[in-house]
Amino acid sequence: MALHYLGLAIAAVGIRNRAQTPFANQLSPFIGGCSTAAEMKSHPIEPTWVLSGDPQARFAAHSEAADKFASTGVWDCTAGSFRWFFGWDETVVILEGEVHVTAEDGSERTLRAGDVGYFRGGTWATWHIDNYVKKIAFIRKPLPMPLSYAFRAWAKFGPKRKGGLAA
């Protein structure tokens, strides 16, 4: 019964705040663009994370969700090796070049143009770039577990919406 009330409280707060989202009317329903036209700006790698070489990274923001829990950007980097901390869940699509990735569990994979990779938030990976790599990054902040469970329950038992991946 307590979970029922928790779910109702979360839904009420969500409905109340949905109308108050300051960016709701300012965001376009669609944002498109060419990754080659993105204005790339220097985005230095934390110096203590660099293992070898002098990797030079750049980044261009593409879009951000109104709730600030998801964003998309273009990132590139020159040769070098470094550790990287993924604070948020991140899915990448490699556009150019390649990167050799070693995950925390020791698994290794080389990602090349056209490959897709997923990095769970809160984890480290070692990246080794021989020459150059360019990626699109889809970043999502994970919800705290209690909210995640409430959201899943709402999705399962709440009103059904049409749309999604098959829309």
125 domain-assigned: yes
Chain segment 77-96, per-residue pLDDT in tens:
999 999 999 999 999 999 99
31 domain-assigned: no
Domain that holds residue 114: 2-25+49-157
Reduce the DSSP state of residue 88 to 3 states and report it: coil
What's the CA gap between 75 and 41, in Å, rounded? 9
Confidence of residue 167 (pLDDT cuts 50, 70, 90): very low
For 82, counting Cβ atoms within 10 Å of its Cβ (0-12 exposed, 13-18 middle, 19+ buried), the class is buried
Q: Name which residue leads in pLDDT, 35 or 131.
A: 131
151 domain-assigned: yes
For residue 103, the model assigns a pLDDT of 97
Chain segment 104-119, per-residue pLDDT in tens:
999 999 999 999 999 9
Which residues partner with 72 through β-bridges? 63, 138
37 domain-assigned: no
164 domain-assigned: no
Q: Are 90 and 139 in contact (CB under 8 A)?
A: yes
135 domain-assigned: yes
What's the CA gap between 84 and 44, in Å, rounded? 12
Mean of pLDDT values over 48-63: 96
- In the chain, how many domains are there? 1
For residue 26, the model assigns a pLDDT of 47
Closest Cα partner for 7 from 136, 167, 116, 146?
A: 146
34 domain-assigned: no
CATH number of the domain to which 61 belongs: 2.60.120.10
44 domain-assigned: no
Chain segment 5-46, per-residue pLDDT in tens:
444 444 444 444 443 333 333 467 777 777 777 789 999 999
Q: Are 60 and 73 in contact (CB under 8 A)?
A: yes
